[in-house]
Amino acid sequence: MRAGRGTLGQIVTNDQLYRELQRLAATANEVTRGVRQGRGSVGRLLNDPAAAQALEGSLKNLEAMTRQINAGQGSIGRLLKDDAFSRSLSGATSNLETLTARLNRGEGSAGKFVTDAALYNRFNELTGRIDQLINRLNDGQGSAGQFLNNKELYDNMNRTVTDVRALILAIQKDPKKFLNVRVSIW
């Protein structure tokens, strides 16, 4: 032992190892003191009955969930126990993989939109033109813009439509009043 052989011999003769063991013992004492004083998670569990009860409740909930899963209840339980549900989920996953592969290959309208840069650029240009059109309408430019934004024009159009309807009703009521037919021979 005095020659420094073996673990005990190293502890007795190696000053650095001795100091490290002293620091380890001091740290262990400090941790133990903190736990006794209720510091940290373990300290709260050992010293606070409410924390211990909350942990116990959580463990009971976990145990109940595990029992339900093992009984095949719920989605996870059905996935583990019900072959039909598992096959259905596998089928849905397979369909999703097929759809994704078709999109990546550029098949169908959505696939072309995703993979064809020219189509994407045309769509972008179209939305830009639609934005310009909407801005012009909102600014009152053009006949449609005036109709949307000019209350006086709108009111005049409404009066005109009302007058045309009244004229049509009057013609239907008494067509002779509005139609004059003359037949003349030289």
SS (H, E, C) 47-89: HCHHHHHHHHHHHHHHHHHHHHHHCCCHHHHHHHHCHHHHHHH
Q: How far is CA 40 from CA 24, 25, 45, 110, in A?
A: 19, 19, 9, 55
Inside any domain, residue 19: no
Average pLDDT, the chain: 86
Mean pLDDT confidence for 169-186: 81
Q: Is the confidence at residue 152, as pLDDT, over 80?
A: yes
What is residue 41's predicted lDDT score, i.e. its pLDDT?
84
Inside any domain, residue 92: yes
Contacts 24+ apart (CB under 8 A), 68-76: none
Mean pLDDT confidence for 29-42: 88
Inside any domain, residue 155: no
> How many domains are there within the chain?
1
Give the E-state strand segments of the chain in sequence order.
none
Stronger pLDDT, 53 or 182, i.e. the higher one: 53
Cα dihedral sign, 47-50-53-54: negative
Model confidence, pTM: 0.37
Backbone angles phi, psi at 113, to 5 degrees: -65, -40
Inside any domain, residue 56: no
Q: Is the confidence at residue 158, as pLDDT, over 70?
A: yes
The CB-side HSE value for 52 (13 A sphere, CA atoms) comes to 9
Mean pLDDT confidence for 11-22: 80
Q: Give me the percent of the chain exceeding a pLDDT of 90.
A: 32
pLDDT tier, 186 (very low <50, low <70, confident <90, very high otherwise): low
Inside any domain, residue 110: yes
Mean pLDDT confidence for 11-20: 79
Mean pLDDT confidence for 38-51: 85
Inside any domain, residue 86: yes
Inside any domain, residue 183: no
Range of the domain at 91: 82-115
Inside any domain, residue 109: yes
